Structure 1
Amino acid sequence: MLRLAILACIFCAGTVLAIAQSAVTVPNFWDGRIRLDRPEPGPPRVVRFLTDDDYPPLHFAAADGGLTGFSVELSRAICEKMLWTCTVQARRFDTLLDSLAEGRGDVLAAAMTLTPQIRSRFAASHLYFRSPARFVTTSGNAQPELDSRTLQGKRVAVVAGTAHQAFLDRLMPFVQRREVPNLAAALASLRSGDAEFIFGDGVALALALGGRNGGELAFTGGPYLESRYFGEGIGFLMRKDEPGLQRAIDYALQALWDDGTYARLYLRFFPVSPF
């Protein structure tokens, strides 16, 4: 009974509110009852954002070589909202935290999931994105809701050694796991009929659904946001000696949600939403 109660909570894991625009679900991370005051402008400065150029659709190099992506364009929208002069610089992903700590930039705008270790070193803005886990199946098999009875004994492809495998091991032992080395193998397993579902990272799966032959597949059920397995989410990171910068970014993020900019950028970079 306890396991069923836990599963009931997990299957209702849509704790992030959402709105639908053009059949794409846009997540809302802001509580409308909490209103932030616009901070006083500080002395003029150039705010330097750091990111990586190889993680679409959040941050990547465009065809012309320029930086773009959801996190990058959201950074630029913050700068416009706050009337800041800003730069956005790409660095290798594994150097980003040290670059921020050493003062080679002011704000980190990359898909780096917040952890207790990161929070101990840096200040973080309000969350602006999370990557949920999702189930994918063939289009004809998709349904709005999934429960333990629907999944009982089903063959589920999952990438071995991931948090998604650990989640299935611990909380869905009633499925038949098909452990595969990567997402491409999971998709091949589903298309061949060896698996009936894929369970994995929502962003990666959304890209697959939006790609060639993606129309034959579909998300089924809702998003899974259990932070113990899939992380707290993504925010902008700053050094802890910049509290004014953190307050300004939090204000700008809420304002960009209120004026529709966040939704417009989300729809631009997530034509298939992971939520």
Structure 2
Amino acid sequence: MRRKCRCPYCGLALAPLLLLLAACSFLPRSGGYFEDDGPSAPIADAARIPDAVPKHESRSRYGNNPYTVNGARYHPVADARGYRERGVASWYGKKFHGRRTSNGETYDMYAMTAAHTTLPLPSYVRVRNLKNGRSVVVRVNDRGPFLHSRLIDLSYAAAAKLGIADEGTGLVEVETVAPGEPLTAKTDTVEIIAPAAAAEANGGPRLYLQVGAFTRWDNAIALRDRLEREAFRPIFVQSTLVETETRVYRVRIGPVASVEEGDRLTERLAQQGVANAVFVVE
């Protein structure tokens, strides 16, 4: 049985309800792991779960317009061809199983699906676990995650197949997949993180917290020095020339040993007035 939606809009008349359907599905998820959010018994052989198969689909009627959650404004893109990004993946399970997704479908924690804040609904992405080299193809049909600087929220099945269901999070690379493209990832292009802490990895991806980005060097240095005095170390300024030929100075902390350590640093940063720290995987 589908759970009753607890959105405050659900007491409205039918016409306004249809107009606000997307708002009803943008219920903030933590983007983190809940010990009681998985099934009563784990999937026996997650590796045998078939990936989603990309196909040509029309954009969903719901979930593709700009929206606001927790005071942040999101602008879904119309075309995600060529999209590739690294970050932290999380998963969501039975607490949302059977609820409406942002595009009006029903969330199934055993299907190969995912939530993303701005990719088109629906679209297909390949998600690679940078720690063990596993990859999955999922269909994006929901919005989120909205907290803790997570990049993508996977279904329980996708997380289990990637090997991150027990830990709750994982370092991943996400890239769009078009119909007709090979579904098997090229393993020789996947960078593997050794079991040791990310800070000790040699040449592999590393996890950082980006706490600010400026076009003025002195502003970046001021933030770096202020946070260093509060014992946020190691902290540095990275200078990058972006596509518009503008130089951007990014203030970053790390490498960070784990996602959990990054979450703790994020809480400390918020106490210092830095509320928009984001994870960066390089």
TM-score (norm 2): 0.24
Which structure carries more helix by proportion? 1
Which structure's relative contact order is higher, taking Cα pairs within 8 Å and 6+ residues apart? 1
